[in-house]
Structure 1
Amino acid sequence: MNGPTATHVRPHAHPRTDLPEGAAALVHGEAIPRTRVDDFLKAVPARDREMRPEALARAERQRRRWATQVVVADELARHACVARGLRTPEEVSPAQVLAVAETDVADLGSIVAAVLAHSPAARALLDELEGEQEIPEAAVRDYYDRNRDRFLTPEALRRGVDPFDEPAPADVLPYERAREGIERELRRAAGHRAFFAWLDQARADVVYAAGHEHPGDPAHPDHEHRH
């Protein structure tokens, strides 16, 4: 994980200066201490420090904002697990941050990818949301029909069959064999969309201290919005 990438940015409220001393944010009226953000930052590799001092200072400001979003999302997920009657996962140590695959960063954005790597509560909530998704049979069949190139048989792959050159029916896995995997993949994607929607809504009422805003919030001059 090389550095913060802002994603799924909504309009954000201006940061407040009247938060309790030492608070990075308020979640459901409860203060999230800055020390929790500091602890998370210690566990995450910093960006390349071989840069001009002013660029490094900006990068570190954005890294703190990014880390705040991860910590806030973890807290929101804990609340959501309690509200849904899910077993609250064990307390997580910042040092337990798991490796984040580059593909996850590309697919999810670095904030959500880091949240899911860091937070047992977020993973439990994602599992719950994923299990709630209903995938119509027609959607599974449509995916199969539109992506035959993804379902070449092992024999066809060994022969070097071109998946984009109208492979013969015998070179493609039959629908019955491909169906379960397709449904699982579509449910996973739908679960992630539900998680994004939940997170956008859940953090809408979060109040941030100055210097801890979302890294893509245009209210601060260093904002960056990348996908």
Structure 2
Amino acid sequence: MREHAAVVRGEAVPRHRVDALLKAVPARDRETRPESLARAERQRRRWATQVVVADELARRTCEEQGLAPPEEVSPSQVLEVAGTDVADMGSIVAATLAHSPAARLLLTELEKQQEVPEAAVKDYYDRNRDRYLTPDALRRGVDPFGRPAPADFLPYEQAREGIARELRRAAGRRAFFDWFDQARASVVYAAGHEHPGDPSHPDHEHRH
């Protein structure tokens, strides 16, 4: 069996890194039939390979951009992945950010680079007025879509910073997704380590 799981920019990513991550992250599947369990384990290995490859790509990108290289990641330091993060980002990206200090550093840098126009912040405030009712208005059960008084809402000046931060964070995540898609395009995977959604293998499933 090959000793590498993938080749990133001409350099092999050792298979033992994937094995270590699999050991650190307990299987969630509860299949009991041998064939179903075997399939689940094959998919789990492919999923873990994506996380390890993403960490490798992130570390190299951080070095290229002159960002302070993070400490080597230890599989035993895998953080808990919130269900909301999986829903928002997909299991591979969510697990990568939990597992990889380099990925978190890169995401933070991408968020800093995002420019949010004032018009976009104001538009968000105007379209989501229900999110900016004052505590008093909420206690009184004011309907934000009825006939609320201007005083029932937080002033735009007070809400602006939080909105800009939220929009910048969302833009940073989109930039991270774009980076990941482009960075992994040239990765060559060893047999059994392909992307879980790769239609070239019979067990594929499109579940990010």
- Which category of TM-score, normalised to the shorter sequence, fits these structures? over 0.9
TM-score by length of 1: 0.88
Q: How many residues align?
A: 208
Find the counterpart in structure 1 of residue 166 from structure 2.
185
Q: Does 1:35 align with 2:16?
A: yes
CA distance, structure 1, for counterparts of residue 69 and residue 159 of structure 2:
35
What is the identity percentage for the equivalent residue pairs of Structure 1 and Structure 2?
80
Identify if the C-alpha distance between structure 1 residues 201 and 107 changes in structure 2 by more than 3 Å, giving closer, same or farther: same
Find the counterpart in structure 2 of residue 205 from structure 1.
186
Q: Which amino acid aligns with 2:107?
A: L
Find the counterpart in structure 1 of residue 6 from structure 2.
25
Secondary structure at the counterpart of residue 72 of structure 2: coil
Q: Does 1:87 align with 2:68?
A: yes
Find the counterpart in structure 1 of residue 101 from structure 2.
120
1:24-173 → structure 2 map (5 Å cutoff): 24-173=5-154
Shift of 1:37: 0.2
What is the RMSD computed on CA atoms of the aligned residues? Answer: 1.3
Asked if 1 retains the 8 angstrom alpha-carbon contact of 2:58 and 2:106, the reply is yes
CA offsets 1:16-72 (integer angstroms, 9 cap, x no match): xxxx93000001111111110010011112023343221111111111000000000
Identify if the C-alpha distance between structure 1 residues 214 and 190 changes in structure 2 by more than 3 Å, giving closer, same or farther: same
CA distance, structure 2, for counterparts of residue 40 and residue 166 of structure 1:
55
CA offsets 1:142-200 (integer angstroms, 9 cap, x no match): 00000001111111122222344343221111100000000000000000000000000
CA distance, structure 2, for counterparts of residue 98 and residue 106 of structure 1:
17
Find the counterpart in structure 1 of residue 195 from structure 2.
214
In structure 1, stretches of 5+ residues that fail to align are 1-19
In structure 2, stretches of 5+ residues that fail to align are none
Q: Which amino acid aligns with 1:87?
A: A
Secondary structure at the counterpart of residue 29 of structure 2: coil
TM-score by length of 2: 0.96
Shift of 1:137: 0.3
Asked if 2 retains the 8 angstrom alpha-carbon contact of 1:58 and 1:222, the reply is yes
CA distance, structure 2, for counterparts of residue 214 and residue 225 of structure 1:
9
